[in-house]
Amino acid sequence: MLSLRRTVTVAVATSLAFAGLAVGASAEDVPDRAVGSPKGGPAVKAKVPDVARGIIVETTTGAPSDALLEATDDAVGDGVEVAADKPLLTNVSTVDFDEVVPADVAEDVANEISERSDVVWAVPNRLRQVQTQPPVTTNDTLFTAQHNLWNRGYTTNSKLGVPAGGGYSIKAPSLWRKTQGRATTVVAVIDTGILDHPDLPSSQRVPGADTYSSKALDNDGTPGRDNDPRDPGDWFTEGQCDFPGSSNSSWHGTFVAGQIAAATNNGAGIAAVAPNVKVQPIRALGRCGGWDSDIVDAMKWAAGIRVSGLADNANPAAVANLSLAGSPGTATQREAECKVFNAAAKLGKARGTLYVAAAGNDGGNANRVTPASCSEFVSVGATSINGFSAVYSNVGSTVDLSAPGGDSQVDPYRGSERAKGDIIWSLGNSGTRGPAQNGYVANEGTSMASPQVAGAAALLHGLGLTTPTQMRDALYASVTPFRARSSAYAKKAVGVDRYDINCTAPGRQWCGRGLLDLSRVQAPLTAPVISGRVIVGEPLRTSVGTWVRTPSAPRYTWKVAGVVKGTASVYWPTLADIGKAVTVTVAPSTSAFAKLSTTSTASAPVPAGPAVTLRGPSAQPRYGQAFTVTATVAGATGGTIRLLSDAGATFGTATVRSNGTASITVPAAAARRLKPGSTPFRAAYLGDTTTPPASSPRRGITVKKLSAKVSTRLRTKVKTSSRATLKVRVIDRPDVFAHPTGELRVYDGKKRIRIVRLSSSGGGKKSIRLPTLKKGTHKIKVYFRGNPYITSTYSAVRTIKAR
């Protein structure tokens, strides 16, 4: 299932390749991004040949039988033999050949073997290669050039829709106010291994492993698997690999690890996404790339699963980054490869590991790239400094989200002006073969985008979102929408070609859910603060506290002595709460962040107070009508009591009698402040020398609308050539509404013939010219639709004859 040798997904400006899109009819195909090219498409760099070292097979027998191995030997043909088999996953094994073969040969072998009754599926074991002013600042010398973390070039909104503060970066400093990660969080970097670098000291790492099993090409001094992840260099010369060409060492694993957890705020070099977490280097790639089986074992070991030949992992990773990719030729091949990668990822997920992978740098179809397109991985595309898709980044429906990867083709690097180039800075080394002088280098690619997402997942893990599903969902919720489609970027010139590098287009969004934006993490910075008098029956309110991003609809949980008592934004202590303290917890309603709650300091204990009750009025008052309620204060013989609304407004005041009762009258002037409907009130006893203060439970008092009367005047006869005038008067209580307003509808029988507005300037009166009436008798009536204070009603019917 695993395809060709995997390559690291790094694109270097001087050697950037734009591979054509995968061809074939499929719902997952994406449009060609090259538009208007004189050559009919993007320039294509010679690709690494697709090769395999054998097959990966799932059997019904647990391990390949001798008969299966013999059948494989026969299928591979003359000149190549089966050399060994080895367990890889449950019921899944590798069957290695004694030499590397073209991937299509291994594909034919796998297809033939798959026909056997003891085989569930079989795929080639392919080779993969590497793809290669903020709220918190650091004193790292290159931090101002790290536009991917925080872009100082964007500070305000512009006509282009640029987001304020940080532009189209991941805005890591926003979340740094809350966390820079925890030392107990481990991120595995499945890559080319690691160098000793002063900006990534041993204190930033935990022990790793070396799963690279190509003894013929391994140059680390101890060929084969061991627990030494040091990178000896992945350089190769002409003829060493199964494809033409040569290459200097990439130090790719060190670059990626530095992005995640380089020492930060140390006065030198770069800042990392999650500087307080630990990286775990796992060398699965070396000269010429790395085999799928080695990558799968690296995935397993990262999650704490035992792998033959390696000491057990004492520090299982919460997140594993795979900045590597391969592109099978067909959807069928991709589906087969995903079976292996998904099986390994599911094992790791069950142990708490989230896998993040680069979408690839072919400038084409991400839906054909493995492992990123497989369902158990978070697939990461790359964007530019301006928020558009990087011209090299693969796109498609399987991309989950994007992060800055640099795009020097669109915004070229400008020599020593480090702050202006669209590139990604991290750790490097000047050695072209073995390691030499440590330093800092700039690269671009989905390889650079993926570790930013892995680092972000590690930050979320440190906040308490510790399961792979929780981290994944929070990542998906921590994105800013892609900018609107730009016609200029739909035909962006890159060399002699033009490319559509928009992330949005009619009917599709091919760069994922959005651009990673850590300023959107709903994480609390300070606790809520309870305000109000801690008294029985009096409202306690709360602030939400400060947040990295304030929840738009926070959830509240009020507890008294640890018992949940309320979920509204206000809590009203009861007699049962006397002697107990109150706390409130505020949490986001967004499910991905629901665990990121914050709790107030406990209030003072609720003091003792009398039982206060509120009753009445005896009949529902109408709007503007005075009414009286009765309050009782247990044990009180005097003192003042008030009728208060939820907002604390006083509607009436009375003195408590010696028997503990009081009659509180709401005068007409105060009653006019109440809209018709139910309004909550409480009776607030202020206390006296012997009885402490307390308030009653809230009680709704319902106020009815005023009843209107509609009278009309209309002559009894009119000529068919003339128009009669209907005079209307709406009467309510003149002491409340002397000038009622509302809509008047005039009906002739059941037919509506006029609609007019009754304005306040008319004093409740309106003259309405009727339309000409046909010959005969007409029944005219008026419907007053009412308003928030006055009921709707009909007038009496007036008869008029037209002749």
Structure tokens at 418: 């480090």
Q: What is the pLDDT at residue 497?
A: 75
The CA R_g of the chain, rounded to the nearest whole Å, is 37
Confidence at residue 164, expressed as pLDDT on a 0 to 100 scale? 55
> What local confidence, expressed as pLDDT, does residue 7 receive?
52
Residues in Cβ contact with 210 at an 8 Å cutoff, skipping those fewer than 6 apart: 193, 220, 225, 226, 227, 228, 229, 282, 283
For 247-288, the pLDDT digits (tens) are 999 999 999 999 999 999 999 999 999 999 999 999 999 998
Task: Give the pLDDT confidence of 625-644 residue by residue, as tens digits.
Answer: 999 999 999 999 999 999 99
Task: Name 618's Cβ contacts closer than 8 Å, sequence gap at least 6.
Answer: none
pLDDT at 36: 39
By DSSP bridging, strand 186-191 and strand 92-102 are unpaired
The edge-to-edge listing of strands for the beta sheet with 765-769 is: 709-713, 725-731, 765-769
Angstrom distances, CA of residue 161 to CA of 208, 537, 606, 747: 44, 49, 51, 53
The first and second tokens of residue 143, run together, are 């931090």
CB burial readout 769-784, b (16+ within 10 A) else e:
ebeebeeeebebbbbb
**In contact, 125 and 107? CB cutoff 8 Å:** no
* Cα–Cα distance, 602 to 617 (Å, whole number): 38
The candidate with the shortest Cα–Cα distance to 277, out of 313, 311, 317, is: 317
Q: DSSP labels for 334-381?
A: HHHHHHHHHHHHHHHHHTT-EEEEE--SSSSBGGG-BTTTSTTSEEEE
Q: Which pLDDT score, from 0 to 100, does residue 24 have?
A: 27
Distance CA 449, CA 385 (A): 12
Amino acid identity of residue 156, one-letter, is T
Q: Could you tell me the CA-to-CA distances from 150 to 135, 146, 366, 620, 639 in Å, in that order? A: 10, 7, 27, 62, 62
Contacts of 204 (CB under 8 A, 6+ apart): 261, 262, 263, 275, 278, 279
Do 312 and 209 form a contact (C-beta atoms < 8 A)?
no
**Adjacent-strand bridge partners of 404:** 383
In angstroms, the CA 179 to CA 192 distance is 29
pLDDT score at 412: 62
Q: State the DSSP string of 687-719.
A: --SSS--EEPPPEEEEEBPBPPEEEEE--SEE-
Q: How is domain 709-802 classified at the CATH fold level?
A: Immunoglobulin-like (2.60.40)
Query: Can you name the CATH fold of 143-493?
Result: Rossmann fold (3.40.50)
Q: What is the dihedral of CA 72, 77, 79, 83, to 10 degrees?
A: 0
Q: What is the structure's pLDDT at 446?
A: 96
What is the fold, at CATH topology level, of the domain defined by 612-703? Answer: Immunoglobulin-like (2.60.40)
SS3 108: helix
Low-confidence ranges of the chain (pLDDT < 50): 1-6, 11-31, 35-47, 155-162, 415-417, 419
Q: What's residue 56's pLDDT?
A: 93
State the Cα torsion 781-787-791-793 to the nearest 10°: 10
CATH of the structural domain 33-127, one choice from 3.30.2310, 3.30.70, 3.30.43, 3.10.450:
3.30.70
Which residues are known catalytic residues? Answer: 191, 252, 447
Can you name the residues that pair with 188 across neighbouring β-strands? Answer: 280, 320
Q: Give helix 446-462 / helix 468-477 axis angle, nearest 10°.
A: 110
Q: Can you give the pTM of this predicted structure?
A: 0.83
